[in-house]
């Protein structure tokens, strides 16, 4: 009973915070509260890291306009995490030189493990908003929290979409589907792919015709793989790609007239990156990417406070970048807002008190930015069911939200994909 009262009180608090967010600006913050933000700002991941940081900055400004965190103006000490070694050393610098008690970041699954280990050694809270490495929350570290689902969640959603949305539209049962798995070989790609393979074959009995991993930085030609896949004749290609390999695979599949019924990806890189559309234009019509919501997202499907937050965030991103929020913006901002919710309730960055508040969070889907809710497990991982994800599709140079249909105003097209010259 006591627990229930506490949960109700917390929900009431969050709703009140949401109401404040929608109304007039909160009280002017007094003093500053500094957190560390760790992102890859140079090197091969800089493109995504900078976008992620931009999302943080936009949300920081929104938070400060509402009275900051714990009544103080939120400020960042930024660290550049190009690779795992630098991620750890920058985490140390932020803690020892900048004196931060909370670090957030880190975009990549390559980086979050090393950075959070460094934070753990200092007993500093590590609030991850983007990396999806399943191992992140499975190391028994009490200081780590992740607002985004992990890679197994991505795989779970992808197979859900394939089995329950695509298969009926192909007039096939899930166990009649022939599926080929192709993935870049980072922990991100492997995590998503292995989770999807397990669920596709174990739960739905899909027929796996191939499972292939590759190094995206050393793959300059997909033709041999495509030639082999053509012979295996899959219905669905489940392809987890980074940013350079997705356009290359798609272009070469077109050259080789490789016909499959659908291609499904997950994450903000590869088919989920705006660069895919820029590289291919209307030639890129058709692939699906599991992401945060994009154009076509039905705001009315959210709770009132979620709607207010979402609308204001979109406007702020539009004002700063001239475009709809991209995945990196949404992950960072959604995570940072949730951090504010926790800090305002905890009124402290003491790890144990902070953990206690996180453990009590119980927000239904639709409460927060991106239509998210929150319900954290003991290991600091937010739950798959609460972190609602969406399937977007490339339609004439734009990624649009098409699934779940109750959250979208636009419908998926080209199911199954027709010949390459008939996808306009």
Judge whether 390 and 264 are in contact, CB under 8 Å: no
Residue with tokens 């506490």: 6
Residue 285 touches other proteins, criterion: CB under 8 A? no
Query: Among residue numbers 337 through 366, which ones bind other proteins (CB under 8 A)?
Result: none
Residue 221 touches other proteins, criterion: CB under 8 A? yes
- To the nearest whole angstrom, how small is the minimum distance from the Cβ of residue 212 to other proteins? 6
Residue with tokens 């880190």: 106
Judge whether 240 and 109 are in contact, CB under 8 Å: no
Pairing of strands 102-105, 125-128: parallel
E-assigned strand segments in 215-285: 236-240, 262-266
With contacts defined by CB under 8 A, name the span among 190-198, 228-236, 297-305, 344-352 that binds other proteins. Answer: 228-236
- To the nearest whole angstrom, how small is the minimum distance from the Cβ of residue 231 to other proteins? 7
Judge whether 47 and 54 are in contact, CB under 8 Å: no
* Residues in binding contact with other proteins, number by CB under 8 A: 42
Tokens of 423: 């996808």
- To the nearest whole angstrom, how small is the minimum distance from the Cβ of residue 184 to other proteins? 10
- To the nearest whole angstrom, how small is the minimum distance from the Cβ of residue 215 to other proteins? 7
Other CB atoms within 10 Å distance of the CB of residue 102: 25
Nearest to 183 by CA among 233, 246, 277, 226: 246
Residue 320 touches other proteins, criterion: CB under 8 A? no
Residue 422 touches other proteins, criterion: CB under 8 A? no
Judge whether 133 and 113 are in contact, CB under 8 Å: yes
Indicate which single residue of 3, 231, 319, 422 sits in contact with other proteins (rule: CB under 8 A). 231
Indicate which single residue of 98, 212, 312, 362 sits in contact with other proteins (rule: CB under 8 A). 212
CA pair distance 332, 72, nearest whole angstrom: 20
Indicate which single residue of 26, 44, 364, 397 sits in contact with other proteins (rule: CB under 8 A). 44
Q: Is the dihedral of CA 329, 332, 337, 340 positive or negative?
A: negative
Residue 228 touches other proteins, criterion: CB under 8 A? yes
With contacts defined by CB under 8 A, name the span among 20-28, 144-152, 209-217, 311-319 that binds other proteins. Answer: 209-217
- To the nearest whole angstrom, how small is the minimum distance from the Cβ of residue 155 to other proteins? 20
Indicate which single residue of 23, 123, 205, 281 sits in contact with other proteins (rule: CB under 8 A). 281
Judge whether 354 and 340 are in contact, CB under 8 Å: no
Residue 202 touches other proteins, criterion: CB under 8 A? no
Other CB atoms within 10 Å distance of the CB of residue 117: 18
For 328-387, give the DSSP string.
HHHHHHHHHHHHHHHHHHH-S--HHHHHHHHHH--B-TTSSGGG--B-B-TTSBBPTTTS
With contacts defined by CB under 8 A, name the span among 67-75, 278-286, 293-301, 361-369 that binds other proteins. Answer: 278-286
- To the nearest whole angstrom, how small is the minimum distance from the Cβ of residue 47 to other proteins? 3
Indicate which single residue of 7, 25, 257, 356 sits in contact with other proteins (rule: CB under 8 A). 257
Indicate which single residue of 47, 308, 364, 379 sits in contact with other proteins (rule: CB under 8 A). 47
Residue 215 touches other proteins, criterion: CB under 8 A? yes
Give the list of residues 6+ apart from residue 168 with CB closer than 8 angstroms, or none: none
Residue 259 touches other proteins, criterion: CB under 8 A? no
CA pair distance 271, 63, nearest whole angstrom: 31
Residue 59 touches other proteins, criterion: CB under 8 A? no
Query: Among residue numbers 101 through 160, which ones bind other proteins (CB under 8 A)?
Result: none
Element (H, E) at 394: strand 390-395
Tokens of 18: 């949401």
Residue 203 touches other proteins, criterion: CB under 8 A? no
Indicate which single residue of 83, 208, 275, 405 sits in contact with other proteins (rule: CB under 8 A). 275
Indicate which single residue of 86, 152, 158, 244 sits in contact with other proteins (rule: CB under 8 A). 244
The residues that touch other proteins, with contacts defined as CB under 8 A, are 42-50, 185, 212-215, 217-221, 223-225, 227-228, 230-231, 243-244, 247-248, 251, 254-257, 273, 275, 278-281, 283
């Amino acid at each position: 009973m006591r627990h229930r009262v506490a949960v109700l009180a917390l929900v009431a608090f969050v709703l009140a915070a949401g109401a404040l967010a929608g109304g007039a600006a909160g009280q002017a913050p007094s003093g500053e509260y500094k957190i560390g933000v760790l992102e890859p700002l140079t090197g091969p991941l800089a493109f995504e890291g900078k976008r992620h940081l931009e999302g943080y900055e936009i949300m920081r400004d929104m938070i400060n306009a509402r009275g900051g965190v714990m009544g103080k103006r939120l400020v960042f000490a930024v660290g550049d995490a190009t690779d795992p070694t630098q991620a750890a050393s920058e985490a140390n610098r932020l803690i020892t030189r900048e004196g931060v008690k909370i670090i957030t970041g880190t975009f990549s699954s390559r980086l979050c493990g090393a950075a959070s280990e460094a934070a753990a050694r200092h007993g500093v809270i590590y609030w991850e908003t983007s990396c999806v490495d399943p191992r992140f929350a499975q190391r028994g570290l009490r200081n780590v929290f992740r607002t985004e689902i992990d890679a197994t969640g991505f795989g779970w959603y992808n197979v859900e979409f394939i089995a329950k949305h695509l298969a009926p539209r192909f007039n096939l049962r899930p166990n009649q589907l022939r599926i080929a798995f192709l993935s870049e070989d980072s922990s991100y790609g492997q995590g998503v792919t292995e989770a999807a393979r397990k669920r596709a074959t174990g739960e739905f009995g899909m027929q796996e015709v191939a499972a292939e991993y590759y190094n995206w930085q050393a793959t300059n030609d997909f033709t041999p793989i495509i030639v082999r896949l053509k012979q295996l004749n899959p219905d669905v290609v489940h392809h987890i790609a980074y940013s350079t390999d997705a356009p290359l695979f798609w272009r070469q599949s077109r050259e080789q007239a490789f016909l499959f019924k659908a291609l499904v990806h997950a994450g903000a890189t590869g088919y989920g990156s705006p660069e895919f559309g820029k590289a291919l234009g209307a030639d890129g019509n058709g692939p699906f990417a599991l992401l945060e919501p994009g154009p076509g997202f039905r705001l009315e499907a959210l709770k009132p406070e979620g709607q207010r937050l979402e609308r204001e965030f979109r406007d702020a991103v539009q004002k700063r970048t001239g475009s709809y929020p991209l995945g990196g913006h949404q992950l960072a901002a959604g995570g940072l807002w949730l951090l504010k919710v926790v800090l305002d309730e905890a009124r402290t960055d003491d790890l144990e008190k902070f953990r206690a508040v996180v453990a009590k969070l119980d927000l239904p889907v639709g409460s927060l930015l991106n239509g998210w809710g929150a319900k954290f497990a003991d290991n600091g991982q937010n739950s798959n069911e609460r972190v609602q994800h969406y399937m977007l599709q490339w339609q004439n140079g734009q990624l649009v939200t098409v699934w779940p249909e109750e959250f979208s105003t636009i419908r998926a097209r080209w199911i199954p994909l027709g010949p390459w010259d008939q996808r306009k």
